[in-house]
A and B are shown apart, each in its own frame.
Chain A
Amino acid sequence: MRPFALDHAASTAEALQFLDDGATAIAGGTNLVDLMKLQIATPERLVSLRRSGLGDIAQDGEGLRIGALVTNADCAADMQVRENWPLLAKAILAGASPQLRNRATTGGNLCQRTRCGYFYDTSQACNKRDPGSGCAAREGFNRIHAVLGTSDACIATYPGDMAVAMLALEAVVLTQGPSGEREIPIAQFHLPPGDDPARDNVLEAGELITAVRLPAPTGGVQIYRKVRDRASYAFALVSVAVDLTMNEGRIARCALAFGSLGTVPWRDPAVEQVLIGEAPSSALFAKAAEVLLKDAQGFGANDFKIPLAARALAATLNDATRTGKA
């Protein structure tokens, strides 16, 4: 690790000032510190947000405003979240370990970087870590990599769970920065790699996530299905977040998001359109999967994610629509 200076911001305004001066924000540090040890990130100045007053969960009209510094553990344990947006609590609890969730924060989690092994290994080519060096994962061991939204430059996934639930819940990321405040729908927050995979999201230099706003509860059946290599403490191979309402035996409303399938948390309105207004059946689920995966491309070791996603989708919809009838 390289030497660095650490400051504590006592307010959001002070944090923004530090960021403006070139500091890198640190909250829980569960990802950033690892990156610093490996010198994948080498910030000379850090500003800790832990005292900056962004740690509250508050009602926001019919919705909920979750401060950027709310820990994953606190968010998942919040009674309002559990009752009205259970999908979010379930997704958070499916990730990491209690120790990590006690430390990791809402804003930090949105910014966590990929788990691509080539990104973390500085002896290997990686356009995300070292733009222009190439992508060693493409023809390497790419079992955990994306099958949707990839580019020639990068096939790494956004690995988290929380953001996948937020995508299905149509959350909005609230930021402050040099050019004022922004409200960014979460569907637009993460950036697919394109030819600039070093950039994970739309945050500008000096811009800070202050909160995430959840819209009014849908009252739908909410399931987060995480498929992984072991029962806990593993990143998803594929995850499915669903928020669905049945009406007279038909799917009246449906929001679906997928994790570890694409380079970013993945949502495809065309998939939902296939389902809405229809009675659930295995044929319908298969049709939805076909639409979801029509452009999917595997790279060898991750080819299985394509049939796996179809089957995980079917299992989740089967579960949600049966529960929804009750």
Chain B
Amino acid sequence: MRLPLADMYNTPDERNLLDTMKQGVIGKPLDRPEGPLKVSGTATYSAEWKIDGFVEGVLVLAGIPQGTVKTIHRDPVLAMPGVLAVLADEAMVRRSVQGTAGKAPVQDVHTVDYFAQPVALVVAETFEQARDAALALKVDYDDAQVPVAFDPESPDAEVEQPSDEEPVVGGDLDQAMREAAFSIDVEYHTPGHASAAMEPHATIAYWEDDHLILRGSYQMLAYNVKEIADCLSMPAKKVRIIAPYVGGGFGSKLGITHEAVAAAIAAKALDRPVRVVMTRQQVFQTVMRRSETRQRVRLATDAAGKIIGLGHEAHVSNLPGEDFAEPVTQATEFLYGGENRLLKVEVARICRMTAGSVRAPGEAVGMQVLEAAMDELAEAVGIDPVELRKRNLPGKVPVEGTPYSSRMLVEALEQGAAQFGWDKRKPAPCQTREGDWWIGMGVASAARVNMLTLAEARVTLKADGTALVESDQTDIGTGTYAILGQIAGEMLGLPISQVKVVLGDTSLPPGAGSGGSFGAISTGSAVMRACEAIREKLAKHMESDADELEIRDGMASFDGRERSLVELLDGKDIAEVGSIKPGKTLKDFSQASYGAFFAEVAVHAFTGEVRVRRMTGAFGFGRVLNAKTARSQCLGGMVWGIGSALTEELAFDTRDGHLVNHDLAEYHVPVHADVPALEVILLEERDAAASPLQAKGVGELGICGAAGAIANAVRNACGVRVRSFPLTLDKVLPHLPDPFASAA
């Protein structure tokens, strides 16, 4: 990636420019400009491009858990109808690359690292010919001689301290536990998760001379071109990726994976465009998983319920050699007080597909456990769970002493509680029964770290008075097209109909990409900076100070003078590239988005089935850029929270590490009937340390802790505390009270 013009964000931008502008489009609940295309099926997704003469590739997966490829019996397959090639190139990738790596992952498919790893690509004239041939391809292997572990709890699994996850140690936790007036020491489990994006991974690759063009489904194009280029040992500037629409990523498309590299290699070998679309099963089996976790939480308080000791230790897994370890304790570091603390993550080396970022890595599973443990602590102390949380919000981050940039957790807890009707909750379990159902309520805090990352965008104010915003930033269904247009419209004083946004093409300036909830604030800040530069030029024409210049509906005014932009531009476009680069504000302040979840559940007194009846989330994440898309992000997060709480679980066979439930029929994401009315409260705040937009990330916030609120509501409903997610009925059933004895 080109390094943008350095604009390091070292000092909070307190000018709060967006609030001084006059157009009034920022924050408004505007529709997505591309919405009509998407709902009418006319937005073109990766696999849908009609590229002349393209042929189809299908990946062949290993039928063994580990070993080396001895012989690939190509000839019988090459004799099959339509088959053009069987490729098992050393440059093809064994593993998915981690997000923001910007370089190749582990390559060479002659070695098998995990069950169902791709080992070859079969290319044919039609998809069905290619799939038939892929299934027919016989591969002989030498099995691995070294014993390998398939289960993170296996004694054969090597356990390491991850290189980039330093433990947080403060004071003496053991002593705090001994001296505590109240304490809990509990162990929780969370299962592996799949990203389960609706659009499967897909790439159409073709070469124009020595330039490679990929139409593919990826989240972070500026990094992805480097990853592809590194895989193929070619310069990144000769790779172009086009991805205007991406049908969900959830982490699985942060880095490039098997199909992209295989398609590029096949296109080169055959001198024809090649399309490789992974099947749903292949996406589940090979791309990326969230690690399962085992988490020990220790909480110690004084007599008043103030936390004096906090321990959060996690056991996660990944393939040998992978840097990524699910950062389970990420939000625990700054959320609650207690100077005596021990936070750490250890990683077991096991033979399953690569573990990496899936929907809010760290907080999604760390917060749900911490928040369930907080509920257990509230019970031990004997105070209301909302009150316990409010009592334990530190003034500065424990141990490291950093101040908070902004934190609306108290407001979220209070406003959420009022809206939800928390005062009607009965503290003791098993107090409300409606027919065969126990009813209960639970609460949890939400927290997700905020990140500003490197981004560039170009804004062109055209001579006709319209604006064009351009970046390789992706919109993965989140609303990026809408919000970037709103930022430019607000800054340049244009109605949204006069602003066009073009995204998802690496021939445009490199944006942040979509990941870690940072796309909006990072690329949005770059758009804002570009607009500021344009305003500087306009101000010169108006002989005004840029920040004093008022523009609305294409009319600029200063000091009583008013001129139209078209007039000021005088037939010439103004194009500016804006950039943002993370700087000192990230270190000087603890930055996170916050919120609170309130859930009401019903638990069937006979069968233990859990159904969420309603849920309220209140969230503070700085400026709301678009009230509609922000709300949608929160809703989506809460839906994933329901999945994480009740249904989602990757089921591995621990004999060979293969994934048993590798489709959407058996990997249960919530369906409509699982999702009740969800209520979202957006708390407006301004956070200058987070970004010049005064906005923080919201994409993943809605999931971070949501499952904890549901688990706590289950406890309140029927008295059963399940310390293993998801709360499927088999875990609830054995502990339920007699349904007849307790019938209302």
Contact = CB atoms under 8 A, between A and B. Distances in A.
Contact of B131 (A37, A118, A231, A282): A37
Given A237-B729, A315-B436, A307 B668 contact: no
Contacts of B652: 141
Interface of B: 61, 63, 81, 115-116, 128, 131-132, 135, 436, 604, 606-609, 611, 646-647, 651-653, 655, 658, 660-662, 665-666, 668, 670-674, 728-730, 733-734, 739-740
Most buried by B among A121, A124, A312, A314: A121
Contact of B671 (A2, A232, A282, A308): A232
Given A117-B662, A237-B729, A311-B607, 8 more contacts: A143-B651, A229-B646, A229-B647, A304-B733, A308-B730, A311-B606, A315-B607, A318-B606
Contacts of B665: 115, 235
Contact of B653 (A1, A3, A140): A140
B606 A229 contact: no
A21 interface: no
Contacts of A230: 646-647, 668, 670-671, 673-674
Given A304-B730, A312-B606, A314-B606, A141 B660 contact: yes
A139 interface: yes
Interface in A131-175: 136, 139-141, 143-144
Contacts of A124: 658
19 contacts: A1-B132, A39-B132, A39-B135, A117-B660, A121-B658, A122-B135, A124-B658, A141-B661, A143-B651, A227-B609, A228-B609, A229-B647, A230-B670, A232-B671, A232-B673, A308-B607, A314-B606, A318-B606, A319-B436
- SS class, residues of chain A in contact with chain B: loop
Interface in A270-292: 282
A117 B671 contact: no
Contacts of A315: 436, 604, 606-607, 739
Contacts of B116: 123
A279 to B, nearest CB: 14
B606 A231 contact: no
Interface residues of A, number: 38
Interface in A108-127: 115, 117-118, 121-124
Most buried by A among B608, B609, B660, B730: B660
- SS class, residues of chain B in contact with chain A: loop
Interface of A: 1-3, 37, 39, 115, 117-118, 121-124, 136, 139-141, 143-144, 227-235, 237, 282, 304, 307-308, 311-312, 314-315, 318-319
B728 A140 contact: no
Contact of A231 (B128, B655, B673): B673
A304 B728 CA distance: 11
Contact of B739 (A140, A143, A314): A314
A229 B668 contact: yes
B671 A311 contact: no
B614 to A, nearest CB: 14
A39 B133 CA distance: 11
B723 to A, nearest CB: 17
Contacts of B607: 227, 308, 311-312, 315
Contact of A311 (B63, B128, B662, B733): B733
Contacts of B606: 311-312, 314-315, 318
A307 B733 contact: yes
Contacts of A39: 132, 135
Contacts of B81: 3
Contacts of B661: 117, 141
A298 to B, nearest CB: 11
B671 A231 contact: yes
Contacts of B646: 229-230
Contact of B63 (A123, A229, A233): A123
Contacts of A140: 653, 655, 660
Contacts of A318: 606, 740
Nearest to B655: A140
A311 B729 CA distance: 12
Nearest to B129: A3
A235 B730 CA distance: 15
B132 A141 contact: no
Nearest to B116: A123
A308 B668 CA distance: 20
Contacts of B608: 308, 311
Contacts of B728: 229
A308 B730 CA distance: 8
Contacts of A227: 607, 609, 729
B128 A1 contact: yes
Given A307-B734, A315-B436, A141 B647 contact: no
